[in-house]
């Protein structure tokens, strides 16, 4: 359920999925990409514990601040932590890349009120490429996959997915299966 790389997921459906369409690959950004909002949330959570220490170093007297202001500050701080965690998790969990036996689906979750879904038929896939750059990408083996489509169909990019070279190859192999089926269907020896 929380995996960033799932082959042949079960009990999983997406908006617009055909009844006979099977999901072959379900991808999310690598979990390490969540580190930025997790670190920010932890620092904000721990911040009020360190404020008295820094105030003592600066010879600041907390007794001049009314108690209600301190309580309001703590409430706002922890609400901000909650918002960062909630938004960060939703963004990671609902930004999904799906490869089915018919289509490539890119679901971009921008906020609770806006999402964008791009679908490209596998038969329109012309080429795939992948890239990994940087220390974290190399250590944790994640990167981007770029899918080039034919015609007016929008090109699709998968960002920060695990095993990008394997994903690009998997998509191209699935597209070739469709191309092979198409050629066999029209090429009958007499």
Tell me the per-residue pLDDT of 79-124, one tens digit each, with 9 for 90 and over.
999 999 999 999 999 999 999 999 999 999 988 789 899 999 998 9
Number of domains the chain contains = 2
User: What pLDDT was estimated at residue 186?
Assistant: 40
Q: Out of 69, 89, 109, pick the residue that ends a domain.
A: 89
Q: What is the pLDDT of residues 32-55, one digit of tens each?
A: 999 999 999 999 999 998 887 887
User: What pLDDT was estimated at residue 1?
Assistant: 63
Distance from C-alpha of 170 to C-alpha of 110, rounded to nearest angstrom: 27
pLDDT greater than 80 at residue 71: yes
What mean pLDDT, rounded, does the chain reach?
Answer: 88
Q: Out of 47, 69, 89, pick the residue that ends a domain.
A: 89
Distance from C-alpha of 92 to C-alpha of 33, rounded to nearest angstrom: 9
pLDDT greater than 90 at residue 178: no
Angle between helices 67-94 and 35-57 (to 10 degrees): 160
> Do residues 154 and 68 share a domain?
no
Mean pLDDT of 5-24: 90
> Do residues 174 and 128 share a domain?
yes
- The residues pairing with 25 across neighbouring beta strands, listed in sequence order, are 7, 99
> Do residues 102 and 80 share a domain?
no
> Do residues 25 and 52 share a domain?
no
pLDDT greater than 70 at residue 6: yes
Q: Out of 65, 89, 113, pick the residue that ends a domain.
A: 89
> Do residues 166 and 111 share a domain?
yes
pLDDT greater than 50 at residue 142: yes
> Do residues 167 and 134 share a domain?
yes
Residue 189: band (very low, low, confident or very high) from pLDDT cuts 50, 70, 90: very low
> Do residues 25 and 99 share a domain?
yes
> Do residues 106 and 166 share a domain?
yes
> Do residues 63 and 145 share a domain?
no
Q: What is the pLDDT of residues 143-156, one digit of tens each?
A: 999 999 987 778 89
Domain enclosing residue 144, as ranges: 5-29+95-186
User: What pLDDT was estimated at residue 181?
Assistant: 56
> Do residues 113 and 76 share a domain?
no
User: What pLDDT was estimated at residue 190?
Assistant: 41
> Do residues 101 and 136 share a domain?
yes
Give 93: exposed, middle or buried? Use CB within 10 Å, 0-12, 13-18, 19+.
Answer: middle
Q: In terms of C-beta distances under 8 Å and separation of at least 24 residues, what long-range contacts does 5-11 make, across chains too?
A: 5/161, 5/162, 5/163
């Amino acid at each position: 359920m929380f995996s960033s790389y799932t082959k042949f997921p079960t009990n999983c459906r997406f908006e617009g999925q055909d009844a006979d369409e099977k999901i072959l690959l379900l991808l999310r950004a690598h979990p390490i990409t969540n580190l930025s909002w997790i670190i920010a949330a932890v620092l904000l959570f721990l911040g009020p514990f360190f404020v008295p220490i820094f105030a003592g170093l600066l010879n600041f007297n907390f007794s001049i601040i009314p108690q209600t202001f301190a309580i309001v500050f703590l409430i706002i701080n922890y609400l901000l932590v909650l918002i960062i965690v909630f938004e960060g998790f939703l963004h990671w969990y609902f930004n999904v890349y799906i490869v089915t036996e018919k289509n490539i689906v890119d679901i971009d979750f921008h906020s609770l009120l806006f999402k964008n879904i791009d679908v490209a038929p596998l038969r329109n896939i012309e080429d795939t490429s992948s890239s990994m750059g940087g220390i974290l990408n190399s250590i944790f083996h994640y990167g981007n996959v770029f899918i080039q489509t034919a015609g007016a169909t929008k090109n699709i990019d998968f960002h920060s997915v695990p095993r990008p070279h394997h994903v690009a190859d998997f998509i191209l192999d699935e597209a070739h299966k469709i191309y092979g089926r198409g050629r066999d269907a029209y090429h009958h020896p007499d």
